[in-house]
Structure 1
Amino acid sequence: MTIAVLDDEEVVVRTPEEFHRMPRDYQKILVSQITINTEGELSGGDDYALMFLPLAPTSEERQVCAERAAEEYDHYKIGKRVLADLGIDTTYMESQSLAERTLFADERMHSCTTWAERGIYSYIGEETAMVMLREFAESSYKPWAEAVRTIILDEKIHIAHGARVCRNLAVSEEGREQLQAALDRLWPMFVGIFGSPHTKRSKLAVRYGLRRTTNGEAIELWRQKATERVTHLGLRVPE
């Protein structure tokens, strides 16, 4: 049996048992939210291991890519455990190819071919994940909120390494040209990660305490942060 939540109530859900007593739309939004993030973490591991590591110019950079891949796979396992407690098995994802797993992201994002794209992907692109993770860390579903805090610590390092790659390239005109080309190609895909800015689902997620912002508001938060980083590198923000 599920019980309706009144409009003026603060929502707090502490156990899987309480989750199953929540309204059906709460359950669907939370499961979708965790599943998308968990799939993204698994694909992120593949990106670092299969796409960025071969591009790395030195053994040191290869090691960094390998470490980031291991962290992304660990993040996947964190989400997998949270979903398993809700009765949802994500093991099927592990036997899928990367292309089969990109239902919620532009496949072109998983086809970077330059070291500049590796830097932009992490410095600008992974900030899209950080915007959402910060919100998930305050989720009304407490097991998810607690799990996400561990992921955030690693993601800060991922973004920092992307910043280092971008700064190293930005010291030369040729490097800035490479970064600008990478930014121009990837920027529309970063924006697309947030989904439609006008969806009613994100408003309902805010109502249930599963989000703090709507899609449109989240896009603007990311855009402000990304714009500051882009201009600091001496680049132009794509239109």
Structure 2
Amino acid sequence: MTQTQQAPRVPVLDDELIVVRTPEEFHRAPRDYQKLLISQVMINSEGELSGGDDYTMVFLPLAPNAEERQVCAERAAEEYDHYKIGKKVLADIGIDTTYMETQRLEDRNLFADQGLHTCTTWAERGVFSYIGEESALLMIREFSQSSYKPWADAVRTIILDEKVHIAHGARVCRNLAVTEEGREQLQYALDRLWPTFIGVFGNPNSKKADLAIRYGLRQTTNAEARDEWIRIVSQRITNLGLRVPVTKES
């Protein structure tokens, strides 16, 4: 059944939990539920595809040696695999994402105007993974508890990979942080990329996020997720001898 076909449905009461186990059940879920789930998986899949491009097109050319090039290539392969996982979940409900694969990295909607894909230093590569990718892991952990079971099951395979991505970023950052020059490079990278990382969480007052929580597609609001990310990464930043950037409220 495609997205345009309308399946018969019975309204869900406000105090009811929703559990959707199959693509067929998805087409009988409330239309708001369908729209939110599609948007969530689309955004995540686009981010994973762009992440693979970041590792191959942006970070790999910055790598100082063959070992670090290999790490970037391995991480890219994992990101592309994560994209394919989301692609299949969407395909099963009638959504085709193959158009994304012919887009240029800078033309995709995700962070297109925020400068994420213009990293020019190895310090920014480290900060991207150690600090920035923690936001992705935080959200994927929420998705692993999704009321849409095919999505929850699919993303559980991604979590271990994302932990490895963060660990490699941590190694890059710690190696740089042992010198004053390295800490200066890291601080500059952190200050420049911080607004982009904050932007991952969207509008802190989003009504769509509230509705996603009601439907079991999320566990926290945008503001709660952002604040938890800041709590986690602030400890990492200070441990590196760096200053936590100021977060401007929307």
Q: What residue identity is the alignment partner of 2:202?
A: G
Q: Deviations over 1:152-211 (max 9, x none)?
A: 110000000000000000011110000000000000110011100001000000000000
User: How far apart are residue 104 of structure 1 and its match?
Assistant: 5.1
Q: Deviations over 1:22-64 (max 9, x none)?
A: 0100000000000000000000000000000000001000000
TM-aligned CA distance change 1:110 to 1:170, over 3 Å: same
Structure 2, unmatched stretches of 5+, are 1-7
Structure 2 counterpart of 1:237, from 237, 244, 247: 244
Q: How far apart, in 2, do the equivalents of 1:104 and 1:2 lie?
A: 36
The answer to whether the Cα contact below 8 Å between 2:114 and 2:196 also exists between their aligned partners in 1 is no
Identical residues among aligned pairs (%): 73
Q: How far apart, in 2, do the equivalents of 1:95 and 1:106 lie?
A: 19
The answer to whether the Cα contact below 8 Å between 1:122 and 1:159 also exists between their aligned partners in 2 is yes
TM-score (norm 1): 0.98
Report how many aligned residue pairs link the two structures.
239
Structure 2 counterpart of 1:170, from 172, 177, 190: 177
Which residue matches 2:188? 181
Residue 26 (structure 2) pairs with residue 19 (structure 1): yes
Which residue matches 1:70? 77
TM-score (norm 2): 0.94
Q: What residue identity is the alignment partner of 2:143?
A: F
Q: What residue identity is the alignment partner of 1:88?
A: I
Which residue matches 1:54? 61
- Map 1:197-208 to 2 at 5 A: 197-208=204-215
User: How far apart are residue 2 of structure 1 and its match?
Assistant: 2.5
Which residue matches 1:29? 36
TM-aligned CA distance change 1:104 to 1:143, over 3 Å: farther
Q: What residue identity is the alignment partner of 2:184?
A: E
The answer to whether the Cα contact below 8 Å between 1:105 and 1:193 also exists between their aligned partners in 2 is no
Residue 171 (structure 2) pairs with residue 141 (structure 1): no
Which residue matches 2:119? 112
Q: How far apart, in 1, do the equivalents of 2:127 and 2:111 lie?
A: 20
Residue 163 (structure 2) pairs with residue 153 (structure 1): no
Structure 1, unmatched stretches of 5+, are none
User: How far apart are residue 232 of structure 1 and its match?
Assistant: 0.7
Q: Deviations over 1:74-132 (max 9, x none)?
A: 00100000000010000000011112213455440011000000000000000110110
TM-aligned CA distance change 1:104 to 1:210, over 3 Å: farther
RMSD over aligned CA atoms reads 0.9
- Map 1:37-52 to 2 at 5 A: 37-52=44-59
